[in-house]
Structure 1
Amino acid sequence: MHRRRRTALVLTAAIAAAAPLLTACGSDAHPGAAAVVGGQRITVSQLENRVDEVRRAQRAAVPDEAQYQQVLASTSSLTRDTLHNMVLDQVLHRAAQDQGISVTRHQVEQMRTNLEQQAGGATALETAWLQKYGIAPARLDDNLRLQLEAQQLAKQLGTDTSQPAFWKALSKASQELRIDLNPRYGTWDVQKSSRVDARTPWVREVTTSAGGGEPVTA
C-alpha cells in the first residue's frame, strides 16, 4: 500500500493495529485554502494548527535537541502528509457514509482500551501513534474512529483495506467530494485517493528548530 495511505489507514497487526507560510495561498478560486473538499475549505490556518499539534507533541516527547533535529529531518514532509491525511479522512468518512456505516463512541473507547493494553498503557499508545503515523495525542480518538470506519467498510465490501475493491470505494467518494488542492501542495489523484506532489522547483522547505517550528517556503 502507498506510504501516505498507510499514515492515515494504519490498520496494522496492532489493530488486527509551521506549515508553509504562504503569502498568497490558495488557488484563484479558493484563496486562503489548502484544499476544498465537498465544497468545504481546509484553510491554511487549519493545516498549520494541525501540524503545530504534531510538532509540539514531538518536542515534548523528545526533549534532547539533537534527537529532536533528527525527528524534524525524518518528518520533513509533515505538512503535505498532514494535508493528505486531512483530505483522506473526509474521503474515508464519505465512503463509510455511502455504505450506511457509523461508529459509536463506545466502539472507539473499546478499541482504544484494547490498543492501550497491547501497547503498555495510554502514554505508550500515544507515543507509538505519534512516532509511527504522525498523529498527535489530541487526535488519537478521531483517528481510531476512522480506523473503525475503514475496518467496517472493508468488511461490508467483503475485502480488506489493501485490496482494489476498498480503494475503488474511496475513489468513488473522492469523485463525489470534488477535491481541489492548493497547487502548492500538489494535486489529488481521484483514482488512487492520494495526493500527488506538484513540481514546484521554486519552493524549498527549511526545517527550523525554534519552538518546533514548521518548514518555511522560499
Structure 2
Amino acid sequence: MHRRRRTAFLLSAALVTAAPLLTACGSDAHPGAAAVVGDDRITVSQLENRVNEVRTAQRAATKGEAQYEQAIAKSGGLARDTLHGMVLDRVLHRAAQDADVTVTRKEIQQARAGLEEQAGGAKAFEVTWLQRYGVPPERIDDNLRVQIEAQKLAARLGADTSQPAFWKSLSEASKKLGVDLNPRYGTWDVEKSSRVDAKLPWLREVTQAESRQPA
C-alpha cells in the first residue's frame, strides 16, 4: 500500500477495499480471534460489534433505504478496514508509549471543539465524520486520540506522519507486538504496518461463494 494512502488511513480512519465477512471462526492458533496483537485478543464478535456500530449510525444518518444502500456501497470492505484500524490503533499506541508520548482528555476535547465549530455544530460534525471517515459518533473521541497521538509521535521523532521515521517506529512496534491476523482478514505486513489481503485459493473461493448469498 502506498505510504501516502496508509497515512490517510491512519489519520482519517478512511475505508479501503474488500467485502466484509464476519463469519470467520478464527485461525487455528487463535480460535475465535480476528487478530491477536501482543497480549490483546480482538475477537470476531468484537469486530462485528464495531461494524454494526457504523451500520447503525449510517442507518440513523440516512433518509430512506436508497440512501442507506448508497452509504453501504461507499463503505464496502468495512470489516477488514475496521480490523485494520483496531490493529493499527494498538500498534500506534505501543509506538507512542515507547516514545513517552501521551494524549490528555483535554487535548481531545479541544480538538473536538475546534472541529465542531468548523463543521457548524456537534451534530453536523458527527455526520461529517461518519460520512467521510466511517467513524460512528461513539468512536469519535477514540479516533481523535489516535490522530493526536500520531501527530505527537511524529513531532517527537522530528518528522511528520508521511515520513520514514514515523513508519519505522510503527514497524518496530509491530515487531514487538507480534501481530497475527486470522487468514480470513488477510495478513499483517510488519514493515509497512498495514493489513494486506491473503492470497489463498480456498479463501477466494469461499469469499466469492458467500458474496453471492443474499444479505
The TM-score with structure 2 as length reference comes to 0.88
Residue 6 (structure 1) shift: 2.0
1:144–1:116 distance in 2 versus 1, CA, 3 Å: same
Secondary structure of the corresponding residue to residue 41 of structure 1: strand
Partner of 1:120: 120
1:5–1:84 distance in 2 versus 1, CA, 3 Å: farther
Indicate conservation of the 8 Å contact 1:34/1:182, yes or no: yes
Secondary structure of the corresponding residue to residue 9 of structure 1: helix
CA distance in 2, matches of 1:45, 1:162: 33
Which aligned pairs between 1:1-218 and structure 2 lie closer than 5 A? 1-3=3-5, 5-10=7-12, 20-22=21-23, 25-199=25-199, 200-202=203-205, 203-204=207-208, 206=211
Identify unmatched segments of 5+ residues in structure 2: 14-19
Deviation string, structure 1 residues 139-170 (Cα, Å, up to 9, x no partner):
00011111111110011111101111111111
Indicate conservation of the 8 Å contact 2:108/2:141, yes or no: yes
CA distance in 1, matches of 2:191, 2:100: 22
CA distance in 1, matches of 2:109, 2:21: 35
Deviation string, structure 1 residues 30-67 (Cα, Å, up to 9, x no partner):
00000000122100000000000000000111122112
Opposite residue 180 of structure 1, the aligned amino acid is D
Opposite residue 45 of structure 1, the aligned amino acid is S
1:206–1:63 distance in 2 versus 1, CA, 3 Å: farther
Indicate conservation of the 8 Å contact 2:22/2:79, yes or no: no
Identify unmatched segments of 5+ residues in structure 1: 12-18, 209-214
Q: CA RMSD in A?
A: 2.1
Identity %: 64
CA distance in 2, matches of 1:5, 1:155: 15
Indicate conservation of the 8 Å contact 2:4/2:162, yes or no: no
Secondary structure of the corresponding residue to residue 34 of structure 1: strand
CA distance in 1, matches of 2:184, 2:7: 20
The TM-score with structure 1 as length reference comes to 0.87
User: Which is helix-richer, 1 or 2?
Assistant: 2
Opposite residue 190 of structure 2, the aligned amino acid is V
